[in-house]
Chain A
Amino acid sequence: MNEAAIVFDNVSRFYGDVLGVNGVNLSIPPGVTSLVGPNGSGKTTLMNLMTGLIRPTRGTVSVRGIPPDRPHELFRVVGYCTQFDSFPKSFTGYEFLFSYLLLHGMRATEADRRALEALAQVGLLEAANRKVAAYSKGMRQRIKLAHAIAHDPRVLVLDEPLNGLDPMARAETIALFQQWGEQGRHVIVSSHILHEVDRISDQVILLSHGYVVAEGQIQGVRSEVSDHPIQILVRCLRPAALASRLFEQDHVVEARITDDRRGLAVRTRDADRFYLLLNRLVVESGLQLESVAPVDEDVSSVYQYLIGTQGGAS
């Protein structure tokens, strides 16, 4: 068993009769992993299981080899940034981190150093001496992040960490995630912004109604969704001409002219042959291409196929 993985072995968690997650089998390698799914699909349950805040009703969880019934070990290794804002109201940013680090058993000098380091990493050094209650939403988000990383954990569980951050802070934080992922840490991020998920993570886990619907590398997931032929959108001046040439091929299943009559949505069973064919068609028939885009090699489309538009609790 890979010691550096987060492993869920046939895990289920129920809250009375209500389903949290059911039958989850996962082995999450280090790096940046995204948790994606509608509200109510079990993301928070999964995160709580990973951080040891709740125990599974059935099955076992092990985080880098540490089970959740050894919390004194587990909490050193895990940092959790929750979705909700709740702070001791009268603390300043610095005091909040400092006191928390003292709780970890560090000496004052060490705690001070790490608190300042964490504040520097999230860019809150100037505001460190203002009360947290007076922070703006973005600053509160960043102090939560600092709090999750201050004790240098190997596993970071972050629930919608980019919520409320302005575009620059988002880019900086994403860079931080990627940096931590490269250092061999586990960075588990839950997010609703699918095009960012594409950019930041190496792996993705899709949840729906408490079940894991798909997991793995994004492109890998797509090619495994075999009952759907690959969809590619080609924008060009005369889609009808292109369509007639495409229908001569046996791997093309569907070609649909888009509403604005300047594009063709093609479905094909063999993407490789299609692209090479496209090369030839452009050269031979003088096809004027504006853009080519595989419509579903990203999380958005996988989401669409597997979870659909009504996927969550309502």
Chain B
Amino acid sequence: MATPVIELENLEVRLGNRLILKRLTGSFSGRAIGLLGPNGAGKSTLINTLLGFLTPSAGTARLFGMDVRRQAKEARGLVGYMPENDSFIAGMTGVRFVRLMAELAGLPPQQALERAHEAFFWVGLGEVRYRTIGTYSLGMKQMAKLAQAIAHGPKLLFLDEPTNGLDPPARQRMIQLIQEIRDRGDLHLILSSHLLRDVEDCCDEVLILKDGRVAAFCNLEEERRANRRFLELETRGADAAFVGDIEGLGCEAAWSGNGKIKLVLPDGVEVRQLYELAAVRQVQIRRLNHKRDSLEDIFLKAMEGANGSL
């Protein structure tokens, strides 16, 4: 059996005298895991503990089978971290900075330099790699953070709010890069974010924390498959009669004015039948998709529900 990537056993972590993580238990091995939770749920605390910045007051945490307290250095050798806040050394050029970080992770100087250049090109900062980081824009600093996280070839990548402050094209590029990393298959990702859309685009599984406990852990792919029967329509020309027709087919439908209709297709009813109705009533179905917001529902349900464990 393969060693799980992250293993937690009754992990308890205190900050000051507040207990933040309360007996967290679980075993995670997914390719890309999203970490969600309201503010104060313990997401950053968990990441900080796994990285060795905080010591647990009880319980154990293991990365690739290595205890983060007793084998901290070996565990950290396999990890890459992209922090949420600004993190750079202002006076250094981009390439020198990433090279320093790669050397600290154990790479010999020559290889570190080569990989620093490669990392910069791959994140799209090839043009500016000789400029000092202090002169970079916000988007470039985020990309530089990603470059330093991957330059040494880690097996586990922690990404904390990677699209923070990025404008739309840069956000798209960042998501694309993360998806590329994920699709390689030889690197595990933990993505912590408040943007559900980012997590949906990049992750296969989701771990939701609340109040220092595991509120939910689910597999997004399975959820998506389960949502085939939920449809959302945007129409033009629809009226109450049209909705009535839909209900006549046996579907539960909810009409929210301005043409938006949400409905559940029971077994045996096909999308084609909806179109038949639309053709008869000359209604344009401008948008038809299967429910996209599964993650939002999962999240809300997790927040309402009692604390659970895996």
The reply to whether A and B meet directly (CB within 8 Å) is yes
Contact (Cβ within 8 A) A164 B285: no
Closest to A166 in B: B38
Q: Which listed segment binds B: A60-68, A177-185, A280-288?
A: A280-288
Please give me the residue from chain B that is nearest to A282 by CB atom. B275
Residues of B within 8 A of A271 (CB): 284, 286
Interface residues on A, range: 35 or more
How far, in whole Å, are A234 and B41 apart by their CA atoms in the complex? 41
B39 touches A38 (CB 8 A): no
Check: B290 CB closer than 8 A to any chain A CB.
Answer: yes
Which of B161-214 touch A at CB < 8 Å? Answer: 164-169, 171-172, 194-197
Q: Which stretch, B53-61, B62-70, B97-105, B134-142, touches the partner chain A?
A: B134-142
Return the contact of B284 from the options A39, A167, A194, A272 (Cβ within 8 A): A272
Residue pair B169, A168 in contact (C-beta under 8 Å): no
Q: Is the CB of B168 within 8 A of A300?
A: yes
Please give 9 more A-B residue pairs, beta carbons under 8 A apart, in addition to A168-B299, A271-B286, A276-B279: A139-B39, A164-B39, A165-B39, A169-B39, A194-B168, A282-B276, A283-B276, A291-B288, A312-B169
Contact A311 B169 (CB under 8 A): yes
Interfacial residues, chain A to chain B (CB-CB below 8 A): 36-40, 136-139, 160, 163-170, 192-195, 271-272, 275-276, 278-280, 282-283, 286-294, 297, 300, 303, 308-314
Q: Which residue of A lies closest to B128 (CB)?
A: A314
Known contacts A37-B167, A165-B194, A286-B272; decide if A275 and B286 are in contact (CB<8 Å): yes
Q: Quick one: closest A residue to B228, CB to CB?
A: A290
Is the pair B285, A292 in contact by a Cβ cutoff of 8 Å?
Answer: yes
Identify the B interface with A (CB < 8 A): 36-41, 84, 137-140, 164-169, 171-172, 194-197, 236, 271-272, 275-276, 278-279, 282-290, 296, 299-300, 303
A163–B84 CA distance with the chains assembled, in angstroms:
12
Report, nearest first, the 7 A-B pairs whose CB atoms are least far apart.
A275-B284, A138-B39, A282-B275, A279-B279, A291-B289, A38-B167, A292-B288
Residues in B neighbouring A138, C-beta threshold 8 A: 39-40, 194
CA distance A311 to B170 in the complex (A): 10
Flag if A163 contacts B165 (CB, 8 Å).
yes
Q: For the complex, what is the distance from the CA of A293 to the CA of B231, rounded to whole Å?
A: 13
A276-B282 contact in complex given A39-B138, A167-B196, A192-B167, C-beta closer than 8 Å? yes
With a CB–CB cut-off of 8 A, which chain B residues contact A278?
A: 275, 285
Contact of B194 among A139, A164, A291 (CB under 8 A): A164
**A166 to B283 alpha-carbon distance, docked (Å):** 39
Are B138 and A291 neighbours in the complex by a CB distance under 8 Å? no
Residue contact A314 to B137, C-beta cutoff 8 Å: yes
Q: List 22 A-B contacts (CB under 8 A).
A: A37-B167, A39-B165, A138-B194, A160-B165, A166-B37, A168-B299, A169-B38, A193-B197, A194-B168, A271-B286, A272-B236, A276-B282, A279-B278, A279-B285, A282-B271, A282-B276, A283-B272, A287-B272, A288-B272, A290-B290, A292-B286, A314-B140
A293 close to B289 (CB less than 8 A): yes
Given the complex, which residues of A lie within 8 Å of B140, measured CB to CB? 314
Q: How far is the CA of A288 from the CA of B273 in the complex (A)?
A: 11
Determine the chain A residues whose CB is within 8 A of the CB of B283 once the complex forms: 279
Q: Are A170 and B194 in contact (CB under 8 A)?
A: yes
Q: Is the CB of B284 within 8 A of A303?
A: no
B137 touches A275 (CB 8 A): no
A139 to B37, CA, bound (A): 14
Q: A139-B39, A167-B296 are contacts. A289–B275 as well, Cβ < 8 Å?
A: yes
Q: Which one of A167, A168, A275, A291 contacts B290 once the chains associate, using CB atoms below 8 Å?
A: A291
Contacts of B195 in A (CB 8 A): 193
Query: Nearest CB to that of B40 among chain A residues?
Result: A136
Given A275-B284, A275-B285, A292-B286, are A312 and B167 neighbors across the interface (CB < 8 Å)?
yes
A272 contact set on B, CB distance < 8 A: 236, 284
Q: Which residue of B lies closest to A235 (CB)?
A: B289
Q: Does A192 contact B278, Cβ atoms closer than 8 Å?
A: no
**A279 CA to B281 CA, complexed, in Å:** 10
B43 nearest CB across to chain A (Å) = 9
Q: Whole-angstrom distance between the alpha carbons of A278 and B276 in the complex?
A: 10
- Cα–Cα, bound, A313→B167 (Å): 11
Q: Are B38 and A168 in contact (CB under 8 A)?
A: yes
Please tell me which one of the listed residues A137, A287, A309 contacts residue B169 in the complex, with CB atoms under 8 A apart: A309
Which residues of chain A have C-beta atoms less than 8 A from B194's C-beta? 138, 164-167, 170
Contact A282 B272 (CB under 8 A): yes
Q: What residues of chain B lie closer than 8 Å to A39, measured between beta carbons?
A: 137-139, 165, 167
**Within the complex, what minimum Cβ distance (angstroms) separates B220 from chain A?**
15
A292 in complex: contacting residue of B38, B166, B168, B287, CB < 8 Å: B287
How many angstroms from the CA of A308 to the CA of B170 in the assembled complex?
11
With A279-B275, A291-B290 known to touch, is A303 a contact of B236 (CB < 8 Å)? no
- Beta-carbon contact of B289 and A40 below 8 Å: no
Q: How far is the CA of A138 from the CA of B41 in the complex (A)?
A: 12
Chain A neighbourhood of B285, CB < 8 A: 275, 278-279, 292
Which among A139, A275, A280, A286 has the highest number of chain B CB atoms within 10 Å? A275
From the candidates B39, B197, B282, B296, name the one contacting A166 in the complex (CB within 8 A). B39
In the complex the two chains form, what is the Cα distance from A310 to B282 in whole Å? Answer: 42
Whether A137 pairs with B272 at a CB distance below 8 angstroms is no
A151 CB to nearest B CB, Å = 26
Task: Please give, as numbers and ranges, the residues of chain A lying within 8 Å of B137 by CB-CB distance.
Answer: 39-40, 313-314
Residues in B with CB closer than 8 Å to A313 are: 137
CB distance from A79 to the nearest CB of B (A): 22
Whole-angstrom distance between the alpha carbons of A192 and B173 in the complex?
A: 14
Other-chain contact of A283, B41, B139, B279, B303 (Cβ < 8 Å): B279
With both chains docked as a complex, state the minimum distance between the C-beta of A113 and any C-beta of chain B, in angstroms: 26
Q: Chain B residues near A163: list those with CB within 8 A.
A: 164-165
Which residues of B are found within 8 Å of A36, using beta-carbon distances?
168
